[in-house]
Amino acid sequence: MKPLSQNSVLAKQNYLIPITKRPEICFVRGKGHYLYDQNDKGYLDWVQGWAVNTLGHSPQVMQQALIKQSAQLINPGPAFYNQPMLELAELLCENSKFDEVFFTNSGAEANEGAIKLARKWGQKNKQGAFKVITFDHSFHGRTLATMSATGKEAFAPLFEPKVSGFTKVPYNNLAATEAAIDDQTVAIMLELIQGEAGVIPADPAFVAGLNVLCKQHNILLIVDEVQTGIGRTGSLFAYQYFQAEPHIMTLGKGLGGGVPIAAMVVDKAISCFDYGDQGGTYNGNPLMCAVSTAVVQEVLAEGFLEQVNQVSDYFCQQLSVLAEEFGLGATRGSGLLLAMNTGQLSAPGIVELAREAGLLLNAPREDSLRFMPALTLTEKEVDEGIALLADLLSELIKPEHEQETGLLAGDMVSENRCDD
Ligand SMILES: Cc1ncc(COP(=O)(O)O)c(C=O)c1O
């Protein structure tokens, strides 16, 4: 396909409903760790479709799975079994503590399913208990119920009235969580590392406490692993690292490695949908399931996760060196879901300058950069990105009389930030 000219990009953008501020470039192709725009400018990509492209852009295994499956069977319909659906469900259950899977098309839809399943379980087992405890600053999606579950302040006034039945409590606060439990509580739902909030990990003692609370009060624990699952944090699933004991886990993003597939994975003991309660036209379609199987098999291959952890250590070391040199803050997160505090400097401002310099980054907060590269990252790309960042930071924090623009936190408006 012939790349569009800059003018065509600008003219055609008017046909899209504007839902976020996008830079005036149009990506044409991607390979591994790099994206290329309409002018064939290359960018080292540390956003990777928002922590989605597990194996980077257009990896061979995904191409082959797509071609092979599309030649064989694309869509028999959700009311029939198909082979990739069965194989992927088995793969996820055999490599986790769970027994059964429901496939969806997006993380929000998987979470919606988890909320529905918890409510159904409450109807059948807890005299109609339906309330779900969620956490401040959490992010669970953009359907009406998942926006209602989300603890993002900016969502609070939107699309009223919200879906009722969500009680928000401060993250990592066990006493507040316990205090919020009443007879109508059916589940606690959390991200073990809050990604959109700026990569904020759960405290292990808090997670251990949630395990106990759930047992004591006979309520379900739902882990939203849409962002943390499939190796992103260095273990296949974050619940394993945090020793959480969930009854329901939701997956998305990295599960498809770039194609739209997500899943709700559950313990058999609480799996209580009746026929007709849940479904969807594209759920479990063979094309997406075949690609996802290829991605998950790569992540399960011997040495893959060890390599993720090794490169993560190297990345963290290099970020610390950078932080020391330029007076930035600490690095947090785990595996290849990392963030760094930018101190006085505007993180959205750095994102813009980095993009101009050929590095794609994200700023979930005014003072934080988030790094979510492909899990196939090597030290070579770490060195390349850190060198680009170092050049940019030395320009930014030159002595005041040499500076053209100040870029203090708060200078760039938050519309430069896309939140999920
Ligand atoms: C933790 C978490 N849950 C749910 C979602 C929503 O997933 P999707 O955008 O696929 O609906 C996201 C997206 O960023 C997420 O990070």
Beta bridge partners of 8: none
Diameter over CA atoms, the chain: 70
pLDDT of residue 412: 46
Q: For 375-389, what is the HEC assignment?
A: CCCCHHHHHHHHHHH
pLDDT band at 416 (very low <50, low <70, confident <90, very high): very low
Cβ of 252 less than 6 Å from ligand 1? yes
pLDDT per residue as tens digits for the range 320-355:
999 999 999 999 999 999 999 999 899 999 999 999
Ligand 1, atom 16: closest residue by C-alpha? 227
What amino acid positions are annotated as catalytic residues?
139, 224, 253
Tell me, in angstroms, the distance from the centre of ligand 1 to residue 50's CA. Answer: 9
Tell me, in angstroms, the distance from the centre of ligand 1 to residue 284's CA. Answer: 18
Ligand 1, atom 7: closest residue by C-alpha? 107
pLDDT band at 10 (very low <50, low <70, confident <90, very high): confident
Q: Please check the confidence at residue 404 and state whether its pLDDT lies above 90.
A: no
Tell me, in angstroms, the distance from the centre of ligand 1 to residue 396's CA. Answer: 33
Q: Which of 32, 29, 28, 31 is nearest to 4 (CA)?
A: 28
Rounded Cα–Cα distance for residues 161 and 152 (Å): 16
- Residue 332 sits in a domain whose CATH number is 3.90.1150.10
Q: Which of 104, 147, 54 is nearest to 248 (CA)?
A: 104
Phi, psi (degrees; rounded to nearest 5) at 359: -135, 125
Cβ of 106 less than 6 Å from ligand 1? yes
- Co-location of 153 and 286 in the same domain: yes
pLDDT per residue as tens digits for the range 228-249:
999 999 999 999 999 999 999 9
- Co-location of 39 and 77 in the same domain: no
Domain boundary at 300, 318, 333, which? 300
- Co-location of 87 and 51 in the same domain: no
Mean pLDDT value across the chain:
94
pLDDT band at 8 (very low <50, low <70, confident <90, very high): confident
Q: Which of 364, 98, 78 is nearest to 229 (CA)?
A: 98
Tell me, in angstroms, the distance from the centre of ligand 1 to residue 147's CA. Answer: 11
- Co-location of 276 and 314 in the same domain: no
pLDDT band at 415 (very low <50, low <70, confident <90, very high): very low
pLDDT per residue as tens digits for the range 299-321:
999 999 999 999 999 999 999 99
Cβ of 107 less than 6 Å from ligand 1? yes
- Co-location of 139 and 39 in the same domain: no
The H or E element spanning position 50 is helix 48-51
Inter-CA distances, 79 with 74, 116, 117, Å: 14, 20, 20
Cβ of 112 less than 6 Å from ligand 1? no
Residues 6 or more apart whose CB falls under 8 angstroms from that of 322 comprise: 328, 340, 386, 389, 390, 393
Atom of ligand 1 nearest to the CA of 141: 6
pLDDT band at 397 (very low <50, low <70, confident <90, very high): confident
**Residue 409 DSSP SS3:** coil
- Co-location of 184 and 274 in the same domain: yes
pLDDT per residue as tens digits for the range 157-212:
999 999 999 999 999 999 999 999 999 999 999 999 999 999 999 999 999 999 99
- Co-location of 290 and 308 in the same domain: no
Contact criterion met (CB below 8 Å) for 82 and 286: yes
Structural domain includes residue 66: no
Best residue among 48, 230, 253 to mutate for probing ligand 1, ranked by most atoms within 8 Å of CB? 253
Domain boundary at 281, 300, 319, which? 300
- Co-location of 131 and 229 in the same domain: yes
Best residue among 103, 171, 226 to mutate for probing ligand 1, ranked by most atoms within 8 Å of CB? 226
Split into its structural domains, the chain has a count of 2
pLDDT of residue 410: 55
Ligand 1, atom 8: closest residue by C-alpha? 107
- Co-location of 217 and 190 in the same domain: yes
pLDDT of residue 406: 57
Residues 6 or more apart whose CB falls under 8 angstroms from that of 124 comprise: 272
Cβ of 420 less than 6 Å from ligand 1? yes
pLDDT of residue 405: 55
Cis, bond preceding 84 (omega within 30 deg of 0): no
Atom of ligand 1 nearest to the CA of 50: 14
The amino acid at 400: E
Tell me, in angstroms, the distance from the centre of ligand 1 to residue 16's CA. Answer: 22
Q: Which of 370, 355, 378 is nearest to 32 (CA)?
A: 378
Tell me, in angstroms, the distance from the centre of ligand 1 to residue 107's CA. Answer: 5
The H or E element spanning position 117 is helix 107-125
DSSP 335-358: TTEEEEE-TTB-HHHHHHHHHHHT
For range 100-129, the mean pLDDT = 98
- Co-location of 147 and 230 in the same domain: yes
**Residue 399 DSSP SS3:** coil
Rounded Cα–Cα distance for residues 172 and 226 (Å): 19
pLDDT of residue 418: 41
Atom of ligand 1 nearest to the CA of 420: 14
pLDDT band at 1 (very low <50, low <70, confident <90, very high): confident
Q: Which domain holds residue 328?
A: 6-58+303-416
pLDDT of residue 6: 82
Domain boundary at 300, 320, 335, which? 300
- Co-location of 165 and 34 in the same domain: no
The H or E element spanning position 70 is helix 60-72
The alpha carbon of residue 291 and the mean position of all alpha carbons in its chain are separated, in whole angstroms, by: 18
Ligand 1, atom 3: closest residue by C-alpha? 140
Contact criterion met (CB below 8 Å) for 236 and 95: yes
- Co-location of 263 and 148 in the same domain: yes
Tell me, in angstroms, the distance from the centre of ligand 1 to residue 142's CA. Answer: 8
